[in-house]
Structures are given as structure tokens and as C-alpha cells.
Chain A
């Protein structure tokens, strides 16, 4: 997850970071400041951190919750990015269309994510692969084992 967060954030910033505004500073006295290169890595990390928490359920095949969390994480990412721009550039400005743009993006991600999950499950099945997750493995399987013992 950390590697993916780093790569995605790095590539996103490489695509979008703008250069210095240039020009005579005596004329352009209030240039629009830019967010530092690399901030997206931390935002992707936050998104991945949220998603990671729901991985035990995802492994069990409960993809619905992960799909909802995908939308929530995308919403959180976009709103954080926009708020960062507001903080850096000043003049807090949050029109309704920005909120609309953010939630539409999040909703579309949420709707499309099951397709990706389906692909992941298909690929895992095809290659007989089990998605490993060690962080909560002991606690999770102990919980399941206790449940099984109680039912038997």
C-alpha cells in the first residue's frame, strides 16, 4: 500500500505541478502560490490507510463496503486537495459547483470500483492467489475460529 501510495502521488504531482509564475515581481505582486511537489503522496497514503482498514472484509468477499469506502476516500482526497489550494493561495472560496464536482467524482469512483474489485477477484481466482494480509490476521482468524467453535 505504501509503495502504491508513493507511486500514485509521485506520478500525479509529476503530471500536475505547475512551475513558478515568472514575470516582473513589481507587476505581479500577488502570484497564485502552488502546493509543494509530493503532497499527493501523503494524501494517497491517507486514502490507502482508510482502505487498508477494510481489507479483512474485502478478503472475505464483502466488496460492497470497500466500494463505499472507495467513494468516501476519493471524496476526502479531493476535498483535502481543494482545501490545501485554498490555504496556500488564500481567499477561501468554496462555490457549490466545487462540491458538486467533488461528489460526482466520488460517486463515479464508487460506482466503477466494483468492476475493478470483480477483476481483482477474477484474477486472484484465475491464478489461485490469496490476497495476503498480516496486520489483523491473528485477531481476525481467532475471531472466526471462536465463532465456528460456538456454532459447532
Chain B
């Protein structure tokens, strides 16, 4: 090997060793610097993504309309279903208004935020919101939607923040099955993707009597999340030698997430 190549390789190894030995505080500073540089591009990219998304939705909508024409006889049934859906939406609207009124009814304040980008990386379930340190956001704050828990703030920048979603394995929540004394740790599953992510509720007692259809909520223990936030519904239970584990369908529809609320302590 030529001396120059050897020197270059040694410099590279030294730089790699430097990067690998950074403390968490240093890493956070690096990430903050990086995101302060790319933040304007992330925000400006969002309207384009919205337009593409709207275009795709428009295509899907057209396909639905053509199908409706073909099956005219079933239209009445569909309309009745839609009326029911509208009634559900009306209820959700009331719930959303109640969520917006959180500030008056609770000791903590709530900041509404828009999801501006879902990260396309392979193994991490994270999203960017359009609220950052300038809006009072700090790490570890709970992020909710009208239906339930969305995740927690991982890294606030000046104007935006990164939220680690409940569907990520690294987002763990102390959870309780409603109507029982069963407590466990709820988290996402490794490398899951698609529109129907499932959560794992682990460390339930071995003789647990949890059943499919029961609701799971936060316990308020562990210093991260407030008590009583809806997490999801049990869809499967498997009993192991040491403890029982349940599969939980999240209360929040992560495929169609636009507006969230950050609970500020």
C-alpha cells in the first residue's frame, strides 16, 4: 500500500473512531445542527408531498365512483353506511373539539402540530411535526391524536421535531388492560411496515385473564405518559411459560395521520 493511501485510511479510521465515541449530548448537538440545515427543505418538501398525495387520492376516488355506477343497486346500502360513518365523524369532531379544549380542562397544555413528513427509512418508525423548541416542545413529551397515543417526542429542533411513533420497537409504554389489574409494557414490533401495524403487550401475568376485544390504556407510571390515554384493542393473546403476551391493534390509524397534539407538561 502506498504511504499516501495508508495515511488516508488512518485518517478515515480516526474519524470513524471519533464518530463512534461521541456521547449522546454530542450526538444531539450534531443532529440539531444537521436538522437546522435541512429543516427549510423538509418544510418546503411537504406541500409537494401533499399535492402528490391529493392526486393519488383523487385517482382512488374516481375508481370508487366508477364502481358505484356499476353497482347502482347497492348504492342505497352504501349511502346508509355513509350516514353511519358521518355520524361517527360527528362524534369524532366532538372529541377533537374536546381535545382542543384540553388546555382549559387539564393541568398541562396542548400544542396542535401537523405531521409534515414520515421518514422513509427502513427500520425506524418516526415522523416530523411542524412544532419545535420555539413552540415549547422538549424531548419525551407525549404525542396524541383524538383516538389515542401516537408516540413521544424524540428530538426537538428549533421549528420542527422528530416523533418516535408508538409502532416503533423503541417506543415503550407502561400499559394496563381496562377492567383488569393486568399491567404490561406495550411497544411496536421490529421492522414492521404496511398500513396495519400491530403492537406487542408483554409481561402480562402468566395466568392473565385478558380477552380479545379489551381496551388497553396507559398506566401513568414510568414518568413518560399521562394516565388513561387510549392505546388500542387486544386482537390476540398468547400464553407463554413465564408471561402472557397480547397483540394489540393501535387505536390510532397511523396510515392516515395528519394532525396531532403534543402534551406539554
Contact = CB atoms under 8 A, between A and B. Distances in A.
A16 B121 contact: yes
Nearest to A30: B185
A14 B30 contact: yes
B140 interface: yes
B191 A18 contact: no
B193 A41 contact: no
Contacts of A38: 16, 19-22
Interface stretch (A62-70, A90-98, A116-124): A90-98
B141 to A, nearest CB: 10
Contacts, number: 118
Contacts of A37: 19-20, 22, 27, 30
B140 A22 contact: yes
A127 B170 CA distance: 48
Contact of A101 (B2, B30, B174, B193): B193
B15 interface: yes
A110 to B, nearest CB: 17
Interface in A78-126: 78, 81-82, 85-86, 89, 91, 93, 95, 97-98, 101-102, 105
Interface stretch (A3-11, A53-61, A141-149): A3-11
Interface stretch (B208-216, B217-225, B229-237, B253-261): B217-225
Interface string B84-117: 0000000000000000000000000000000000
A11 B33 CA distance: 11
Chain A binding site: helix, strand, loop or mixed by DSSP?
Answer: helix
A19 B122 contact: no
Contacts of A42: 16
B55 interface: no
B164 interface: yes
A6 B139 contact: no
A28 B185 contact: yes
Given A5-B12, A45-B16, A24 B221 contact: yes
Contacts of A22: 139-140, 223-224
Contact of B121 (A2, A10, A15, A134): A15
Contacts of A45: 12, 16
Closest 7 CB pairs of A and B: A38-B19, A27-B222, A38-B20, A14-B34, A2-B12, A32-B170, A23-B222
17 contacts: A10-B19, A11-B34, A14-B35, A16-B124, A23-B140, A23-B224, A32-B170, A37-B22, A41-B15, A41-B19, A45-B16, A81-B122, A82-B122, A82-B191, A89-B169, A101-B191, A102-B122
Given A16-B121, A38-B16, A41-B15, 5 more contacts: A23-B174, A37-B30, A42-B16, A45-B16, A97-B193
Interface of A: 2-3, 5-6, 9-11, 13-24, 27-28, 30-32, 34, 36-39, 41-42, 45, 78, 81-82, 85-86, 89, 91, 93, 95, 97-98, 101-102, 105, 134-135
